[in-house]
Amino acid sequence: MYLVNVERHFDAAHYLRGYQGKCESLHGHRYQVAVRLKVNGTDETGLAYDFTRLKKEVDVLLERFDHTCLNEVEPFREINPSAENIARTVYHGLEAALGKLPAGAALDAVTIWESPDSWVEFRPD
């Protein structure tokens, strides 16, 4: 079994509604995003999943968040753009974008770093 990982990033502003503290004010992050696929085997070229293809799919998805105020972008008009909610949103968006993965492959987890020492991993179980 292989765990295939790619990392990307995007820059955005956000604020947390109802948070008692600094994060209630508008501020920015360079969000680091890690996506992990779980794949049972390799194809005839020896790849479990093509890194380039996965990076492209992630980039397409993150494009709508890059250089925005996340609170003005769906679904964060209604729910707080916390790292937890961003990770879950990216997970489900990517799950839909990847469509039918090859047999034995599944999206495993999405991790979002708000800073080098603060991150959240989302897995659906």
Nearer to Zn ion, 26 or 106 (CB): 26
Nearer to Zn ion, 23 or 69 (CB): 23
Nearer to Zn ion, 84 or 95 (CB): 84
Q: Which of 15, 17, 34, 35 lies closest to 25, judged by CA?
A: 15
Number of residues forming the site for Zn ion (CB under 5 A): 1
Shortest distance, position 23 Cβ to Zn ion, whole Å: 5
Report the first-to-last Cα separation within the chain, whole angstroms: 19
Contact 115, 123 (CB under 8 A): no
- Strands 105-115 and 27-39, sheet pairing: antiparallel
Nearer to Zn ion, 23 or 109 (CB): 23
Shortest distance, position 19 Cβ to Zn ion, whole Å: 9
Among positions 14-33, residues that touch Zn ion (CB under 5 A) are 23
Shortest distance, position 114 Cβ to Zn ion, whole Å: 5
Nearest residue by C-beta to Zn ion? 23
Strands of the sheet with 2-14, listed across from one edge: 68-69, 2-14, 27-39, 105-115, 118-122
Residues in the chain, overall count: 125
Which residues of the shown chain bind Zn ion in the complex (CB under 5 A)? 23
